[in-house]
Amino acid sequence: MNKERFHNALALALGYERIVKNKRYHITVDDDADEVVVRIDTVDGILKVAYKVSDESKYVWDRTILPEQKEMIKVNGLESEMKEIFDIVHQAYKQAIAPLF
């Protein structure tokens, strides 16, 4: 995977509002290991989600996010936004592994 292409695609898709101005959660990417991992932490520290960027968004929601985490996401009104972020992350991953031509 081209990590630079991934970061660029992710930054463009998430946009300034989600990356810099958002006050409810932080999104970080750990690309030091072979598997690139994204982490989403709420500012209050209640919710911490980490998953591989290669995981499809439906897989993340259905199998990676624990039931109690899903409940916290729903209670905080973040369900649709989190699912959208999961999808954006996976789309950026697909762009990063696609051939350039």
Q: Is the predicted pLDDT of residue 18 greater than 70, yes or no?
A: yes
- Residue 61 and residue 34: Cα distance in Å, rounded? 23
Does the pTM surpass 0.85? The reply is: no
Structure tokens at 17: 């509002």
Tens-place pLDDT, residues 4-15 = 888 888 888 888
- Name the token pair of 11: 């930054």
- In degrees and rounded to multiples of 5, residue 32 shows phi and psi of -80, -30
Q: Which of 22, 51, 64, 14 is nearest to 6 (CA)?
A: 14
Q: 42-62 pLDDT, tens per residue?
A: 888 878 889 999 888 888 888
CA–CA gap between residue 33 and residue 1 (Å, rounded): 12
Q: What is the rounded CA–CA span in Å between residue 64 and residue 11?
A: 23
